[in-house]
Chain A
Amino acid sequence: MNWTRRVGRRMDALLRGDQIDRDLEEEMRIHVELEAEEIARVEGVAPDEARRRALVAFGGLTRYQEEHRGVRGVGALEQSWREVRQAVRGLMRSPGFTLAAVGVLALGIGSTTAVFSAVNAVLRNPNHDDLAIVFYRGFPSLSTVDYRAIEEQQRSFSVVGAMRRGEAAFRAGGEPERLQVARVTTGFFRAVGLRPVAGRLIESRDEPVGAERVAVLSHAVAERALGGAAGAVGQRVTLDGFAHTVIGVLPPSRELLIAQVDIFTALQLAAPTRRGPFGMAVVGRLTPGSSFESATRDLTAISTRVFDLWSPTGGDRTARYEAIPIRSAALATPSRMLGIFGVAVGLVLLIGVANVASLMLVRAIGRSREVSLRAVLGASPLQLVRMFVTESALLCGAGALVGIAVGYLALRALVAIGPAMPGLSTSSLDSRAVLFAAGVAVLAGIVVGSYPAVMLLRKGHVGLSSGDRTIGGGRGTRMLRSGFVVAQFALALPLLAVSGLLVLSFVRLQQVDPGFDPANLLTVRVSLPTGQYGDSTAIAAYWARALPRVREVAGVRSVGLGSSTPPDDFGNSNDNFNLMDRPAPPGTAEPNGPWPSADAGYFEALGVRLLEGRMFAPSDTGVAPVALASRSWVRKYYPRESALGKTMVRGGCTECPPTTIVGVVDDVRYSGPAGPLDALYSPVVENAPRTLFVYIRTATAPDELIRPVREALRSVDPSVPLDDAMSMNGRLYAYVAQPRQWATLLGAFAAAALALAAIGVFGMLLYMVSTRRREIGVRMAIGAQPRKIVQMVVRSGLIHAVIGSVLGLAAALIGTRALTSVLYEVSPGDPATLGLATLALLAVALVACWLPARRAAAIDPLEAIRHE
């Protein structure tokens, strides 16, 4: 038998029941008409009489209509459908409750799905499962020596690649710009797992020193500068003054390691003469049989051989290579923050569910009369349970549907304005997250929805007169309702505590003294292309022309040059050194720290004081290298004596003349707000870095000078890329942008949690007051003061808030420990913050309790007693 057709017809009958009924009615009407005509014709009776007889012969229209419906076999389904429609009507009758419940659930489900989708996109990329990056002394920074040795001797990776990051002036016809460049080996793209969308990637023929200069562009650069991926291949672009041929374009990927890279060129490795320089990232794709642990063992054996061989040119002989999962290397901070964020939204979802649950209980109790009436009129207990469950399931289903839409929007918003995280932009709403969140909500809805009805069944009777108390006064119900309210407070407190800690941390971050006055300070980055500025003479000539032009700009007070910009540019200028009077023992690491280049104007423009010795002088040309040390550097290395005149050898160099310390300056932060303050400075002319920041102390608002300063520099050489023109305050602001974002986002969640908890206790008390009207009225009639009534109601509400807060406080004390590494100068158990969070929660609870209490006190005793 063709059951699919029958199911189809059943569904049809269910959905178009009205239509089928109308059809049948007409068919029957025609039948009766024809029969009546026949009777009139054959027996010659009047039409009325004929019609009457026809109806009798037919045997009752309604009866057969009912029988017809029975045959259609839609009973159970049709009943469900009727229940759904009934529930919809019920919900429509209280639009406020429905909207609030759907909204709360939708927000909870939406934000949870958005965050879990982001987590999946960022942290669960299967491409990263077996991708390792090699660490040396805790950093993914290796040298040519290391890479060559690993490439030749390793047995754990199917492919190994290296990348060296840098910057270069890029020109493709239009304005010059400074772009992020990565020089990579052939294996790099294969290890990371990238294929070109056009052309080819770097191949071994590009790697020999002196091979034709080729470039692979990121999708964004190909689109922006060369009008698209397809047309870009074969074009010539200028990179640092040298012509390169574009050989390929990458897909629009936010893959780890290359997310910020604009252009790739071949890493052409000359035979190394010493152990350094470091700064090269080496990645490998594990072979199917190996693990990160086995790869580390493999690499350890290699490091022993390599370090012994190269130990005369520096390096720590006891250090080892380690194969670190790319995920933990590159995603430590995002995963920690996403974890905290995920817990936060999960808490909001739970609070939301508890909130809706308590509202539903209140509502169900409010409907006890209706339920009693239905029971008296013959509704079976099962039907009553179904009524409640249908309604709450419907509510939660609607919440889930709206929640999915909210989640979609929230994810888009997170991608658009949230913290930058690799892989986030490609994330889409994760179906498992949607199912999970919706499942939680619907399950909770069904449980809560069925609860009042189950209570009814257990009682075994439903009487009209006692309707109010059968459900409302039940001890179990009261406990459950209280439990939901307490849970909301217990869940809200950790959220408040976390957001409070993050805000405090953010405030402390902003209060950090960078070591100079950031107001009225402008910075511009100038990157001299290698082509035109091949040596230090050309670089010095450029600055000899450029600095006077900048000084002439109206509003400029002083101008200086520096290679490293506070507050967190330390990575750009780190170097190691060997103190002549205290050399590092052979085979151990030399000391290391920020060592930027600067000129005397730098200290003047930033307002950094000279504490001892002398400033850089024009005579410091590099023949006899000199350096300035920061106050903290001196405290660290020469705590008991003057550092003036101390000498050291820089960067593991064996033949270089030693550097002499000629002066001591005040501290400036280069290593982030929590980092150490030790630093050394070399005169700009010594190393002649090609990329320098110009620091301009201005008389007016620094932003107003951006344009004239750029014009002044452009008039010297229009082919030099200028970028990152920014006030120092803007730079400091940008530095705390991410902590600010997290604090804001979590603050929003905490506010939502606070509001929900308040609504929860408010709704409960409002209900309590309305059910105890009579009791309150009696109390007042026998002389209770309104003040006493207010106290009574507020007390019963606050008890919940206090119990919840105590539980929440305990949870917060344990939970906030996870924040330790993201907090700046704030302890995760900071008593002031936790106390303040608790107070805030209780204060809000007090207001939420006071409003219903006032209503209770305003009850007119006479009317309340008469009401029953």
Chain B
Amino acid sequence: MPSRADLLQGTLDLLILKALVLGPLHGWGISKRLRQISGEVLEVGQGSLYPALYRLEDRGWVTAEWGTSDEGRRAKVYTLTADGRRQLALERSYWRRFSAAVDEVLAAT
């Protein structure tokens, strides 16, 4: 089992937005997809998803609505908004520059 990386502050938002690009999901669905995408490397404390979701909703990047999940259960379903997509693009480019910078710093030594 690969060791788990602690989630960097603020990265969770980026990951949630990324998870929602493919389509609306409920809370558990988001957490499952995150684990799948990251190959179980990034372990999100599942509960921390919810304050983050509220924050994203607050900023208008996702919308939430009670509906029915694929499994036929009642669940709160989150959808990425147009603002959310723009934000994702922004954060992605920021992240790339950041990680490139970190790589360079590490390579320099």
Q: Are B47 and A30 in contact (CB under 8 A)?
A: no
Q: Are B74 and A58 in contact (CB under 8 A)?
A: no
Q: A1-B59, A23-B76 are in contact. Are A31 and B54 (CB under 8 A)?
A: no
Q: A6-B58, A35-B28, A38-B32 are in contact. Are A27 and B50 (CB under 8 A)?
A: yes
Residues of chain B contacted by A1 (CB below 8 angstroms): 59-60
Residue A84 at the chain B interface, CB threshold 8 Å: no
Q: How far is the CA of A132 from the CA of B17 in the complex (A)?
A: 77
Q: How far is the CA of A5 from the CA of B58 in the complex (A)?
A: 8
The contact of A58 among B32, B47, B52, B58, by CB within 8 Å, is: B47
Residues of chain B contacted by A59 (CB below 8 angstroms): 45-48
Residues of chain B contacted by A67 (CB below 8 angstroms): 48, 51
Q: Are B27 and A30 in contact (CB under 8 A)?
A: yes
The contact of B74 among A9, A30, A57, A60, by CB within 8 Å, is: A30
The contact of B51 among A6, A23, A58, A64, by CB within 8 Å, is: A64
Q: A5-B60, A34-B71, A34-B73 are in contact. Are A27 and B27 (CB under 8 A)?
A: yes
* Nearest CB on A from B105, distance (A): 32
Which B-chain residue is minimally distant from A67 (CB atoms)? B51
Residue A63 at the chain B interface, CB threshold 8 Å: yes
- Summarize B's interface: helix, strand, loop or mixed: helix
Q: How far is the CA of A367 from the CA of B23 in the complex (A)?
A: 59
Residue B26 at the chain A interface, CB threshold 8 Å: yes
* Nearest CB on B from A341, distance (A): 56
Q: How far is the CA of A38 from the CA of B29 in the complex (A)?
A: 11
Residue B75 at the chain A interface, CB threshold 8 Å: yes
Q: How far is the CA of A64 from the CA of B52 in the complex (A)?
A: 10
Q: How far is the CA of A110 from the CA of B76 in the complex (A)?
A: 51
How many A residues touch B, CB cutoff 8 Å?
Answer: 26
**CB-CB contacts below 8 Å: A399-443 with B:** none
Residue B31 at the chain A interface, CB threshold 8 Å: yes
**CB-CB contacts below 8 Å: B34-78 with A:** 45-48, 50-52, 54-55, 58-60, 71, 73-76
Residue A61 at the chain B interface, CB threshold 8 Å: yes
The contact of B75 among A24, A30, A58, by CB within 8 Å, is: A30
- Summarize A's interface: helix, strand, loop or mixed: helix
Q: Are B59 and A58 in contact (CB under 8 A)?
A: no
Q: How far is the CA of A57 from the CA of B48 in the complex (A)?
A: 11
Which A-chain residue is minimally distant from B47 (CB atoms)? A64
* Nearest CB on A from B37, distance (A): 16
Q: How far is the CA of A68 from the CA of B64 in the complex (A)?
A: 15
Q: How far is the CA of A63 from the CA of B76 in the complex (A)?
A: 20
* Nearest CB on A from B42, distance (A): 14
Most-contacted residue by chain B among A2, A30, A72 (CB, 10 A): A30
Q: Are A2 and B51 in contact (CB under 8 A)?
A: no
* Nearest CB on B from A613, distance (A): 104
Interface string of A42-57 (1 = CB under 8 A from B): 0000000000000001
Which B-chain residue is minimally distant from A38 (CB atoms)? B32
Residues of chain B contacted by A70 (CB below 8 angstroms): 51
Residue A71 at the chain B interface, CB threshold 8 Å: yes
| Interface range on chain B (Cβ under 8 Å from partner) | 20 to 34
Residues of chain B contacted by A99 (CB below 8 angstroms): none
Residues of chain A contacted by B71 (CB below 8 angstroms): 34
Q: How far is the CA of A72 from the CA of B51 in the complex (A)?
A: 8
Q: How far is the CA of A59 from the CA of B51 in the complex (A)?
A: 13
Residue A685 at the chain B interface, CB threshold 8 Å: no
Residue A343 at the chain B interface, CB threshold 8 Å: no
The contact of A31 among B28, B51, B60, by CB within 8 Å, is: B28
Q: How far is the CA of A384 from the CA of B68 in the complex (A)?
A: 48
Interface string of A1-35 (1 = CB under 8 A from B): 11001100100000000000001100110110011
The contact of B46 among A30, A31, A71, by CB within 8 Å, is: A31
* Nearest CB on B from A680, distance (A): 93
Q: How far is the CA of A27 from the CA of B51 in the complex (A)?
A: 12
Which A-chain residue is minimally distant from B66 (CB atoms)? A23
Q: Are B73 and A28 in contact (CB under 8 A)?
A: no
Q: Are A30 and B26 in contact (CB under 8 A)?
A: yes
Which A-chain residue is minimally distant from B57 (CB atoms)? A9
Q: Are A31 and B31 in contact (CB under 8 A)?
A: yes
Residues of chain B contacted by A58 (CB below 8 angstroms): 45-47
Q: How far is the CA of A59 from the CA of B47 in the complex (A)?
A: 6
Q: How far is the CA of A26 from the CA of B75 in the complex (A)?
A: 9
Q: Are B27 and A31 in contact (CB under 8 A)?
A: yes
Q: How far is the CA of A24 from the CA of B50 in the complex (A)?
A: 8
Interface string of B84-102 (1 = CB under 8 A from A): 0000000000000000000
Q: How far is the CA of A59 from the CA of B31 in the complex (A)?
A: 13
Q: Are A2 and B46 in contact (CB under 8 A)?
A: no
Which B-chain residue is minimally distant from A30 (CB atoms)? B75
Q: How far is the CA of A34 from the CA of B74 in the complex (A)?
A: 11
Residues of chain B contacted by A6 (CB below 8 angstroms): 58-59
* Nearest CB on A from B54, distance (A): 5
* Nearest CB on A from B26, distance (A): 7
Q: How far is the CA of A1 from the CA of B55 in the complex (A)?
A: 13
Q: Are A71 and B48 in contact (CB under 8 A)?
A: no
Q: How far is the CA of A28 from the CA of B28 in the complex (A)?
A: 9
Residues of chain B contacted by A60 (CB below 8 angstroms): 47
Minimum-distance CB pairs A-B, first 8: A64-B47, A59-B45, A34-B28, A71-B51, A67-B51, A31-B28, A59-B47, A58-B46
Sample of 10 further A-B pairs with CB below 8 A, known A59-B45, A59-B48, A68-B50: A1-B60, A27-B27, A27-B76, A30-B27, A31-B46, A59-B47, A61-B47, A63-B47, A64-B47, A71-B52
Interchain residue pairs with CB less than 8 A apart (27): A1-B60, A2-B60, A5-B60, A6-B58, A27-B76, A28-B50, A30-B26, A30-B28, A31-B27, A31-B31, A34-B28, A34-B71, A34-B73, A35-B28, A38-B32, A58-B45, A58-B47, A59-B46, A59-B47, A60-B47, A64-B48, A64-B51, A68-B50, A71-B51, A71-B54, A71-B55, A72-B54
Interface residues of A (CB under 8 A from B): 1-2, 5-6, 9, 23-24, 27-28, 30-31, 34-35, 38, 57-61, 63-64, 67-68, 70-72
